[in-house]
Amino acid sequence: MGILFAALMLTPGVSLDTAWPIIFVVFGITLFLPAFIWPSSRGGLAALFVPGTMILALGLLFQYSTLTGDWAAWVYAWLLVPASFGLGLLLAGKAGGWSRGVATFGLGIFVLSAVAYGLFAALMGEMFMKVLGAGLVVLSGILIFAAAFRKPAQGPDETLPEDDPIPPTEFPEISGSEEA
């Protein structure tokens, strides 16, 4: 971090008044590195993708607000924080080889939050945000429409595989009640 501060201070035309969100961006990206540096431990280290994605998203949002002065965008921009959580879960689930349910849940949170952001941005944002928000809502509608015509991965008549990873729970027998 000290090297980053020094580089920002020594770069002509750059001041910390407008460049401070870069610290969040760099820190967020740094949280992605351990899973790639130690691939044998990727399953556990992929969990760092969740805070990494959230901190990266906050850095990008802060950078937008700092450069444009549009701090009023936080009225609806906060919806991108749960969207970044969902994206982090999606990435962690895929990269860490976690169960498919984690990635699906992350995708659901991401899509719902992004669509809500798009709606509010289209209604309340500056012109750039209105266009971006409307485009996001239209894109979401197209993707939902396309998903409706996709064939399901597993048909309704198929059963679970025989080697189900979750064995049935066996409960101990309870003998007759003992009276005192």
User: pLDDT tens track of the chain, all 180 residues?
Assistant: 677 667 767 777 777 778 889 889 999 999 999 988 998 888 889 999 999 999 999 999 999 999 888 898 898 899 999 999 999 999 999 999 888 889 889 988 998 998 899 899 888 888 888 888 888 888 888 877 887 887 766 655 445 555 555 555 665 666 665 555
Cα separation, 109 vs 107, whole angstroms: 6
Rounded Cα–Cα distance for residues 53 and 153 (Å):
29
pTM: 0.72
The encoded tokens of residue 167 equal 């064995």
**pLDDT at position 161, please?**
54
Total H helices, total E strands in the chain: 10, 0
> Domain ranges in the chain?
2-148
| Size of the chain, expressed as the number of residues it contains | 180
